[in-house]
Amino acid sequence: MLLTIDIGNSHTVIGIFNRHTIHHHWRIQTNRQHTADEIAVITHSLFALAKFAADSLHGVILASVVPHLNGAWLAFARTLTTNPILVDHQTATGLPILLDNPAEVGADRIVNAAAGHHLYQQALIIVDFGTAITFDCVSARGEYLGGAIAPGMGIAIDALGSKTAKLPRVDINIPPPQAIGTSTVTAIQSGILYGYGGLVEGLIKRLKTAMLTEQGTPKVIATGGMAVLIAPYAPSLEAIEPNLTLEGLRLIHERCHG
C-alpha cells in the first residue's frame, strides 16, 4: 500500500493506493500551525474510520506548495516508512522542465504534468482549480513547458466579502438562473461563474495558439476541487480527472522505486 499526500494552500488531499487502484482518499483543511503529532492524530483517525492498518504501507510520497509544513509532514511520514519522497524539480519524474528556473515550479504542477502525460500521451493543457488556478502546458514529448497562474475563485469570493462594505459572501454551488443577475447574490454568482468561465476559455485559447506550431492541438483536462463546478461555464475543458495529483504521485513513486 502506498500513501500519497498533496499539501495545498487551502486543503490537503490524502490517498491510499493498492498497486494502481486508489482505495481511500480524504480531503482535509491545511493548517500551517500543525505539528507532526497533530498531523499523526488526524491521519490515524482517518485510517481508523476506514479500518485501514498503517503497518501495511510500503511507501509515502508527498507534494507540497506550503514549505512551512514540509518538516512536520515529513516527520510524520518517517513514522510510517523509512524513505518518504518529497517531490521537487529534481525528483526523477521523467519530465524535462523547460523553465528559466525549474526550482520555481510548484510540486503539484510537476506531478499533474507527469500524470497527464502518462494518461494521455499527447500535448496537454492541464487546468488545476485550487486556491490558485494553474494552467500547465505539456508537450507531446512529455516536456513541461510552463503555463499561467490566476487567482482562484475562492480568493475572489473572499475578497468581495472582506473588501467591500455591502457585498455578501455567496454560495457559488448554486448556479445563477441567467447571466444577468437580478439580485446582488445572483449578480455575484454570475460574475464568478461566467466570469471565471470566460477567464479559463480566454487563457486556453491563447495557450493553444502558443502550442500549435510544434505540438498539434493540445487536449485540455481539468482537476482540483472546483473543476466540476466551473466545467459547465468553460466548454474547452474536455475531461475532468479528480485524482490527477494523487495518481501522479503514485506514478512518480513507482518510477523512483522501479
**Active site amino acids:** 108
SS3 assignment for 186-218: HHHHHHHHHHHHHHHHHHHHHHHHHHHHHHCCC
Is 134 in contact with 227 (CB distance < 8 Å)?
no
Backbone angles phi, psi at 135, to 5 degrees: -120, 115
How far is it, in rounded angstroms, from Cα 71 to Cα 162? 32
Q: For residue 149, how many other CB atoms are within 10 A of its CB?
A: 13
DSSP E strands in the chain: the ranges are 2-7, 11-18, 21-29, 59-64, 85-86, 124-129, 132-138, 144-151, 219-223, 239-240
Q: Which position has the grid cell 445572483?
A: 186
Beta-bridge partners for 148: 135
- Looking at residue 182, its amino acid is T
Which residues have CB under 8 Å from 29's CB, separation 6+? 10, 11, 12
